[in-house]
Structure 1
Amino acid sequence: MANAVTKTAGSDLFPVVAAALIDGAGRVLVQRRPPGKMMAGLWEFPGGKLEPGETPEAALIRELEEELGIIVSPAAIAPAAFASEALGERHLLLLLYICRDWSGAPRALDATAIDWVAPADLHALAMPPADLPLIGLLERLI
């Protein structure tokens, strides 16, 4: 009997973290990937890859400071969902966290633009495949 879930030879799990930053109006922050990066020009939730030995929460806090210039307390993030997507020889595991409290005003430090978008309006944006299944969840959570 064939198994519906298979492991591709040579594939490596590639964990990344992302945040759904939610403002007081219930909008979510997205950023546009800069030229020269994979999936350039697509809108995404801010975040990034884990460094060796780093917890997902520590990676997310670091990435939000590097990408947006904001400070986030570990107590201000909560796990919300995950997505799984084949990415060439690797397999992306995207861990999405919700955050409603941070210090500082988000700025596009590593992106070409940022925008605050109502969850329902995320469907109209060009986003990476791994982000797409998370939109419906955000619509229900916010």
Structure 2
Amino acid sequence: MQVVVGAAVIADGRLLAAQRAEPPDMRGRWELPGGSVEPGESEPGALARELREELALPVAVGERIGPDLPVLGRRGAELVLRFYRCVPVDGAEPHVLEHLAVRWVGPEELEDLDWLPSDRALLPALRAALLESEPAGEPG
């Protein structure tokens, strides 16, 4: 089964969301950035590569977040989505290269975005991760 990895990039209690440009039926919807694991790649290695390619964003890939999510691919292929918590390296910021936009969102803003269904299923785990990562002394 083909594995697709997604990045829950978290910094300062906020999550990085990316707005799809393609394909047309997904244009304008929000997702966690990522992509397919190529033969011979580890899942964390693939995720780091995808974030460099899509957002020119170097990251440290951490632990898994949320459950495996089975989905159907473009041609009916069975895929499994796996998400990992990531942190930008040395305060790096993303650059819009393949998406329409990127946005940092807090836990209270997660429901405001028009997420792809597969990413929407992860919102409870993302909210929990954001709440536990908020800087000390700031209200949640």
Fold in common (TM above 0.5): yes
Residue of structure 2 in register with 1:78 after alignment: 63
**In the TM superposition, what is the alpha-carbon distance from 1:47 to its structure 2 partner?**
0.7
**In the TM superposition, what is the alpha-carbon distance from 1:78 to its structure 2 partner?**
1.8
Q: What one-letter code is carried by the residue in structure 2 that aligns with 1:96? A: F
Superposed CA RMSD in Å reads: 1.8
CA distance in 1, matches of 2:93, 2:129: 23
CA distance in 2, matches of 1:37, 1:72: 28
Query: Alpha carbons of 1:110 and 1:141: their partners in 2 closer, same or farther (altered >3 Å)?
Result: same
Instruction: Give the structure-1-normalised TM-score.
Output: 0.79
Residue of structure 2 in register with 1:97 after alignment: 84
CA distance in 1, matches of 2:62, 2:70: 23
Q: Which runs of 5+ in 2 are unaligned?
A: 131-140
Q: Which runs of 4+ in 1 moved over 4 A?
A: none
- Secondary structure of the residue that 1:96 maps to in structure 2? strand
Q: Work out whether residues 84 and 91 of structure 1, in 8 Å CA contact, stay in contact via their aligned partners in 2.
A: no
**In the TM superposition, what is the alpha-carbon distance from 1:92 to its structure 2 partner?**
2.7
CA distance in 2, matches of 1:93, 1:140: 22
Residue of structure 1 in register with 2:114 after alignment: 126
Question: Higher Cα Rg: structure 1 or 2?
Answer: 1
Instruction: Give the structure-2-normalised TM-score.
Output: 0.80
**In the TM superposition, what is the alpha-carbon distance from 1:91 to its structure 2 partner?**
2.4
